[in-house]
Structure 1
């Protein structure tokens, strides 16, 4: 089977190789992958920025396809079903946070960037009927991360004012779409006018260029402040987010691409009763709720570009450059 694997000995750090189709344990299913989507996690693995890296591992966390075979203890009626895959493994019993042995498909276990992938039977879910293969493949990791940030940790209510920072990445776009679908008044930030325009086409009320030093003043003048902010950058952008938060507001962050802040306006946090909340991908219950939400509100992922497996390096390079507007997808069949 065609497979895109990590190989740090090569200049491109990834390679398209032929691997044997995996055998199944009694509680596993074999999915013939129709399409798989890239996440920043895959590029971080390529750059050596992820823990526990191993050469030869098939990358990819997001995928959708058709169940080809099932293990001995799996109901055979699953064969032929169109499914997407929950890439979270071993979340654990506590809904508040993941267990110590939590892992994500695609490193250290073989992932979805191959013609076939094996997963536990409880990781597959019926593909939403309103999504095509590429859209379904784009949903799982980013959709789950955004849903938990917005709906679970952020506890969004209809009519609230929401700011999603860094619109353009997959999670930020899902967060924007989910908040709009839930009846919020949504604004976004980006350094790209094109991305701000796309957000408005999706239903955002407005957008701000975060490279403009006056953006916080503009945001306060237009909105009065935000009940909920969804962010993945942190670093020294945090104080600007604190500045535009309404009293009692929440700042939920699911990443820290700009690292730790050098200073924090702690006085404003406690005086305005702000909530600073961390978030990750989400529990199995979150995944179920996310799928119901997507189906019930007819949410469709924004796609950037679809590549063939032979074009994997170009796809990864595009993600590395941050050029995408929507999800980057590899189509296998």
Structure 2
């Protein structure tokens, strides 16, 4: 089968589109013919983390397709079922933190940037009926991450004011859609005027320039919750915008891992800081129910064929996208 793999030199220079051997499903596994896959910033991190002396790795965490073969002991699924992949490996029950052994599909295990994938039946769910194949293929990682951050961790309520720095990524567009569905007031930031306009069309109440003085731009308005996905470039401004007793949830560091904060201001503000990453199977199923209930669909940016995955990754690396980038892999069923 054809696959987009990484081997050897770190980064995009170590990638190739080539033939790779298919894996037969073992007990408890299924093999899926993939129709679409989706990109995440994690894919770029994997290209740096995958060691040069390790075997070739198929990257990618998101995907949707059709079951074509089933291993022994699998119950509840049949050949021909349309399914979506949950990339959260080894995290079944909702909990405050993932269990030992938790991993994400696409490193260390082979991922979704291939014509087929063999995966545990515990990591698939029926494809949401209101999503087309393209939308289903890009949903999983970003939507699960956003759901846990906003609902499980921040515990947002209707009428809360939520600040989302750096709108444009798949995760932040999901955060915007989810928060508006709950009934929150949503403020977004972006350096891009085009992205700010798109966010307002999606329902954001306020969109400000990330390069501005946020306090001045918001005329002193403070927020209940910040979901911080950017990192060092925005972290302190994010904290500064919190109401006393407010909560900041962080799961991203695309603009730097290390920040310095004023601890005295932090404890006088009675702030809460929470980390999060991905989510459990329980939360994945909750998220699927949530998007079906509110008819939420991923914001789509652009579709590339699997053979052009390098160009897709370059687009994401340059932060040119607004929403999710998809890879078209197989033909949709008639």
Task: Give yes or no for TM over 0.5.
Answer: yes
Residue in 2 aligned with 1:217? 216
Distance 1:4 1:160, change over 3 A: same
Please give the residue correspondences for 1:160-175 in structure 2 after superposition, counting only pairs within 5 Å. Answer: 160-175=160-175
Please give the residue correspondences for 1:26-65 in structure 2 after superposition, counting only pairs within 5 Å. Answer: 26-46=27-47, 48-49=48-49, 54-65=54-65
- Contact 2:94–2:282 under 8 Å retained in 1: no
- Contact 2:235–2:259 under 8 Å retained in 1: no
Between the aligned partners of 1:76 and 1:215, the Cα distance in structure 2 is 51
**Unaligned ranges ≥5, structure 1:** none
Distance 1:262 1:20, change over 3 A: closer
Counterpart secondary structure, 2:321: coil
Between the aligned partners of 1:53 and 1:138, the Cα distance in structure 2 is 30
Whether 1:114 and 2:149 are equivalent positions in the alignment is no
Counterpart secondary structure, 1:34: strand
Q: Give deviations 1:116-148, integer Å, cap 9, x for gaps.
A: 101111111011111111101111000000000
Q: Give deviations 1:55-83, integer Å, cap 9, x for gaps.
A: 41111100000111111111375211111
- Contact 2:92–2:281 under 8 Å retained in 1: no
Distance 1:195 1:314, change over 3 A: same
Shift in Å, 1:102: 0.8
Whether 1:292 and 2:289 are equivalent positions in the alignment is yes
Shift in Å, 1:42: 1.0
Shift in Å, 1:20: 2.2
Shift in Å, 1:262: 4.4
Residue in 1 aligned with 2:270? 273
- Contact 1:62–1:140 under 8 Å retained in 2: yes
Whether 1:24 and 2:25 are equivalent positions in the alignment is yes
Whether 1:195 and 2:195 are equivalent positions in the alignment is yes
Between the aligned partners of 1:296 and 1:27, the Cα distance in structure 2 is 30
Counterpart secondary structure, 1:281: coil
Whether 1:130 and 2:130 are equivalent positions in the alignment is yes
Residue in 2 aligned with 1:156? 156
Residue in 2 aligned with 1:331? 328
- Contact 2:6–2:16 under 8 Å retained in 1: yes
**Unaligned ranges ≥5, structure 2:** none
Residue in 2 aligned with 1:6? 6
Between the aligned partners of 1:150 and 1:188, the Cα distance in structure 2 is 15
- Contact 1:6–1:54 under 8 Å retained in 2: no
Between the aligned partners of 2:246 and 2:209, the Cα distance in structure 1 is 22
Between the aligned partners of 2:258 and 2:75, the Cα distance in structure 1 is 50
Counterpart secondary structure, 1:235: coil
TM-score, length of structure 2 as denominator length:
0.94
Between the aligned partners of 1:165 and 1:234, the Cα distance in structure 2 is 10
Deviates more, 1:298-307 or 1:259-268: 259-268
